[in-house]
């Protein structure tokens, strides 16, 4: 799905839909089981009346199955993206905004060059990838409660012998 980003924003257009997670190939690359959950998405263009700046509001919501880095079991993670991206007309404008931000004068807004051939689904996929955690973990891993019940609480610490050595 390709749009002219400037025209899309100036006209205040909206695109929305849903796709199965597995249709986002880069998102699913390296993920475990087949990803068949639905991901709902919406992209809305807008232009500020006073400044003339153009924006894309990006929303996506769904779930993906990852591998928990603690227990190495499957982890179904809800992913939600709510981001606004500013559009600039050329690389010079982008460089100027980056320089302002580096100097501490700019805002913390992401910008991209308005492309006449902007792939909306690729943009959504980029945002979903950025929303994934680096090291996903369950809050409490399944089976963790079972393991703690089976542990012998009266078992002495293996470091208790060190305490005796310190006394001599």
For 164, residues 6+ apart whose C-beta sits below 8 A from its C-beta are none
Q: What is the pLDDT of residues 19-42, one digit of tens each?
A: 999 999 999 998 887 899 999 999
The Cα–Cα gap between 28 and 69 comes to 17
The Cα–Cα gap between 71 and 68 comes to 6
pLDDT at 28: 92
Strand (E) or helix (H) holding 80:
strand 74-88
Q: What is the pLDDT of residues 128-157, one digit of tens each?
A: 999 999 999 999 998 766 555 555 556 777
In angstroms and rounded to an integer, the radius of gyration of the C-alpha atoms of the chain is: 24
Identify which of 133, 42, 118 has the alpha carbon closest to the alpha carbon of residue 82: 42
Q: Are 109 and 87 in contact (CB under 8 A)?
A: no
């Amino acid at each position: 799905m390709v749009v002219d980003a400037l025209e899309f924003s100036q006209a205040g257009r909206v695109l929305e839909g849903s796709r199965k997670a597995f249709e986002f190939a880069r998102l699913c690359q390296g993920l475990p089981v087949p990803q068949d959950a639905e991901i709902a998405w919406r992209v809305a263009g807008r232009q500020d009346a006073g400044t003339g700046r153009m924006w894309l509001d990006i929303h996506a919501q769904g779930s993906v199955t990852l591998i928990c880095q603690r227990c190495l079991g499957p982890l179904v993670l809800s992913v939600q993206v709510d981001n606004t991206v500013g559009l600039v007309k050329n690389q010079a404008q982008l460089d100027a905004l980056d320089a302002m931000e580096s100097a501490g004068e700019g805002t913390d807004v992401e910008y991209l060059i308005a492309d006449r051939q902007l792939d909306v689904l690729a943009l959504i996929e980029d945002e979903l990838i950025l929303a994934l955690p680096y090291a996903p973990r369950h809050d409490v891993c399944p089976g963790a409660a079972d393991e703690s019940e089976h542990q012998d609480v009266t078992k002495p610490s293996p470091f208790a012998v060190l305490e005796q050595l310190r006394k001599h």
